[in-house]
Structure 1
């Protein structure tokens, strides 16, 4: 059995940005400051067939072969599939249990990339979007953050859509986002948004956009968790990022960036030199203002 110097996991890894993140991790790890020997990446997906097809695409990828990135090609990285549906608490429980059992000493990074972008706007769309993008990411973060090694990284993939200045929030709501000290305060905002949408009263305080609000929630929640985690003495760096407007299924092919370009910031936050950044929101490989 191989002993790995580093272990990481990528959620929603079977296509689009998630799959590109796995590829870029394998390509960039040899020159990473975190390189201390062989790396194991868990590519996770909710659908086993698609997850294993993605794994197959990694092993036959021409760029990876040319770079000799994978251990089967003489490189440093192995990629394995694990099931994970962040829309299901049971699935997150099972995934966390498997990681803890297989790697009792902890893992080095987790990139929470999985999410949904649904068409339309109504109570049902908002509920489903928040359940996956916000509550699923929160659950995965809370369960796996304690199992990250000191000096490890946790990256939550958000979006520019979650910038508070991009959407129609009331001053009161914006202030609550920015002044939140605990994830529970962000969760309260998410619940209030869902409730206001169901009552038809949201328009005075909120944008009519479930995806944007879910990603504002991810950025805010990540910031509060990062700050609390650092205050507890942990050296794990916790950040959120926008991959950019990437040409994937989620943007219906309208994005201007390739998936590989979109993967650059999440990969930097996971294995690059980010000079101790914690609780920040990143885009285009730099810290940007969330407000």
Structure 2
């Protein structure tokens, strides 16, 4: 298996069974990549695999719960045995914690759960996959962030902000994620690994009750672009379709 896939780009997309994650997997697959569909739900993962394969994508399932050390280690072992390397990791899995999230009334356990998935889960998966990424000739990491994590965009008067409703668990988790990403950029500066954050925009998914104005396909575009950056591309950036997002 390793020999026959030596020249094929290998990606892992977490939370790839639906929404933006599924469209990222589909988009990379359409480029001829072999894509690991990371998802914790066995039934939904298999359904996503079937749809991707119907579209001609070389997809394989990766049982993966980003909040569980054993699950993440097993996922890294699966990819290591199957291919021996990883070219791209897209940290897409995330939760909102529900709405509304007013800071004066939020349950601290909701904040804890969101950070566990959206931040610590990314650290857990990234660290497990780094040895495989180091075997790639052009390794890339893409973290799915959001403009609600931009302090600049949140700091204006409430009537002028465009980052959506108050979300004291979800929004700061993306700010935290962006800060963590910059720490990785510093540590890995002398490697070939490029790490960037992607904002998909306000996409209609089940995370927001399908209230978004963009399609999952549109929301996946920036992540796909960052996953396929050429050597010498940016690292440590925060991007959306229109360009860089202010911190």
TM-score category by the smaller chain?
0.7 to 0.9
**Cα pair 2:142 2:226 within 8 Å, conserved:** yes
**Cα pair 1:150 1:236 within 8 Å, conserved:** no
**Cα pair 1:45 1:51 within 8 Å, conserved:** yes
Distance 1:212 1:274, change over 3 A: farther
Return the alpha-carbon distance in structure 2 between the equivalents of residues 112 and 91 of structure 1.
15
Question: Which residue number in structure 2 is paired with residue 225 of structure 1?
Answer: 184
Question: Which residue number in structure 2 is paired with residue 3 of structure 1?
Answer: 4
Question: Which residue number in structure 2 is paired with residue 88 of structure 1?
Answer: 68
**Cα pair 2:145 2:199 within 8 Å, conserved:** yes
**Cα pair 1:17 1:260 within 8 Å, conserved:** yes
Question: Which residue number in structure 2 is paired with residue 182 of structure 1?
Answer: none
Return the alpha-carbon distance in structure 1 between the equivalents of residues 205 and 149 of structure 2.
19
Shift of 1:16: 0.6
- Deviations for 1:76-100, whole angstroms, at most 9, x for unmatched residues? x411111001121221111112222
**Structure 2 residue 140 is the aligned partner of structure 1 residue 153:** yes
Structure 2, unaligned runs of 5 or more:
156-165
Counting matched residue pairs gives 227
Distance 1:285 1:101, change over 3 A: farther
Shift of 1:124: 1.1
**Structure 2 residue 36 is the aligned partner of structure 1 residue 56:** no
- Deviations for 1:249-281, whole angstroms, at most 9, x for unmatched residues? 011111111000000001111124485110111
**Structure 2 residue 209 is the aligned partner of structure 1 residue 252:** yes
Partner SS for 1:151 = coil
- The 5-angstrom pairing of residues 258-269 of structure 1 reads 258-269=215-226
Return the alpha-carbon distance in structure 1 between the equivalents of residues 97 and 127 of structure 2.
25
Shift of 1:44: 1.1
**Structure 2 residue 70 is the aligned partner of structure 1 residue 111:** no
Return the alpha-carbon distance in structure 2 between the equivalents of residues 237 and 209 of structure 1.
30
- The 5-angstrom pairing of residues 28-107 of structure 1 reads 29=31, 39-60=33-54, 64=55, 70=56, 77-104=57-84, 106-107=85-86
- Deviations for 1:132-168, whole angstroms, at most 9, x for unmatched residues? 1110011111221232114210111111111112346
Return the alpha-carbon distance in structure 2 between the equivalents of residues 281 and 130 of structure 1.
19
CA RMSD of aligned residues (A): 2.0
- The 5-angstrom pairing of residues 133-212 of structure 1 reads 133-148=118-133, 149-167=136-154, 209-212=168-171
Partner SS for 2:4 = coil
TM-score normalized by the length of structure 1: 0.73
Return the alpha-carbon distance in structure 2 between the equivalents of residues 48 and 256 of structure 1.
30
Return the alpha-carbon distance in structure 2 between the equivalents of residues 125 and 14 of structure 1.
24
Q: Larger helix proportion, structure 1 or 2?
A: 1
Return the alpha-carbon distance in structure 2 between the equivalents of residues 43 and 285 of structure 1.
28
**Cα pair 1:111 1:157 within 8 Å, conserved:** yes
Distance 1:285 1:165, change over 3 A: closer
Q: Which has the larger radius of gyration?
A: 1
Question: Which residue number in structure 2 is paired with residue 122 of structure 1?
Answer: 107
Return the alpha-carbon distance in structure 2 between the equivalents of residues 208 and 259 of structure 1.
21
